[in-house]
């Protein structure tokens, strides 16, 4: 296990490689969402759903399940969830133009959240979409469809966006190879009936389905063993 000091050093190295401008195709045709589930304390499943853009028709689903031994530590999520995301991404036949991650991009204490981290390692454009604020301050958006900047240490690091009525805002930040402006535009265009972007919601549902399947298979295996 690495010390936190060593992990901060890794994050600082990743940060130097983050690109905060649009390095994208002229026409974006695919976007994906990735989310995780934990069938056991030491098991993680990363599920990726790739959709056509802007229709949001599902093109492909892939996942990876593996052992995880890194604890949950705010600000170091990429070291816990990153390896399984990278493994799942490597299995895709249709690599997306942009990947949305359940977490932060540069909206992070050190400017390198999970979306930025995996974006650099995978060399793919990424956007972070978080359900809660990790750091910074913002003014509450007044109406659905409105956004306000998240300020941390006197600079804008993302947006608070009110996607649904009677819901808290979601927090959007560029991860890698996407500008602040485009990050907000892509997420806005990806919102359907629910609070989260369609791709992230589909990834969340898929991850939960896989979790239930994994737990069921585990119980079934234990029952067979007990009969012997």
What is residue 212's three-state secondary structure? helix
CB 125 within 8 A of CB 178: yes
What total number of domains does the chain contain? 1
Range of the domain at 11: 4-227
Does the pLDDT at position 218 exceed 70?
A: no
Query: pLDDT per residue over 80-98, tens digit each?
Result: 999 999 999 999 999 999 9
CATH code: domain of residue 140: 3.30.2170.10
Please give the pLDDT value at position 224: 42
Which residues make Cβ contacts (< 8 Å) with residue 125, sequence separation at least 6?
22, 23, 24, 97, 98, 99, 119, 175, 176, 177, 178
Please name the residue ranges forming H helices in 91-124.
114-122
Asked if 152 contacts 136 with a C-beta cutoff of 8 angstroms, the reply is yes
Whether this prediction's pTM lies above 0.75 is answered by yes
pLDDT number for residue 200: 98
H and E: helices and strands count for the chain: 5, 8
**44-57 pLDDT per residue, tens:** 999 999 999 999 99
Q: Is 14 helix (H, G, I), strand (E, B) or coil?
A: helix
Contacts of 23 (CB under 8 A, 6+ apart): 125, 177, 178
Residue 108's nearest CA partner among 100, 119, 116 is: 116
With tokens 């195709």, the residue in question is: 25
What confidence tens digit (pLDDT) does each residue in 166-211 have? Answer: 999 999 999 999 999 999 999 999 999 999 999 999 999 999 999 9
Q: Residue 117 in contact with residue 92, Cβ under 8 Å?
A: no
Contact status, residue 170 vs residue 158, Cβ threshold 8 Å: no
């Amino acid at each position: 296990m690495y010390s936190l000091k060593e992990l901060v050093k890794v994050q600082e190295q990743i940060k130097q490689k983050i690109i905060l401008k649009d390095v994208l195709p002229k026409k974006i045709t695919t976007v994906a969402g990735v989310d995780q589930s934990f069938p056991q304390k030491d098991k993680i499943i990363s599920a990726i759903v790739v959709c056509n853009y802007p229709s949001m028709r599902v093109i492909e689903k892939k996942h990876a399940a593996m052992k995880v031994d890194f604890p949950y530590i705010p600000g170091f999520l990429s070291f816990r969830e990153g390896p399984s995301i990278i493994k799942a991404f490597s299995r895709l036949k249709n690599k997306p133009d942009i990947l949305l991650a359940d977490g932060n991009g540069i909206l992070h204490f050190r400017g390198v959240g999970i979306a930025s981290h995996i974006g650099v390692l995978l060399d793919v454009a990424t956007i972070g979409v978080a359900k809660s604020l990790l750091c910074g301050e913002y003014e509450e958006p007044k109406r659905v469809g409105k956004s306000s900047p998240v300020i941390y240490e006197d600079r804008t690091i993302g947006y608070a966006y009110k996607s649904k009525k009677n819901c808290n805002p979601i927090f959007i930040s560029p991860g890698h190879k996407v500008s602040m402006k485009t990050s907000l535009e892509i997420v806005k265009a990806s919102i359907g009936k629910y609070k989260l972007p369609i791709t992230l919601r589909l990834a969340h549902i898929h991850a939960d389905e896989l979790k239930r399947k994994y737990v069921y298979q585990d119980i079934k295996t234990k029952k067979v063993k007990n009969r012997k």
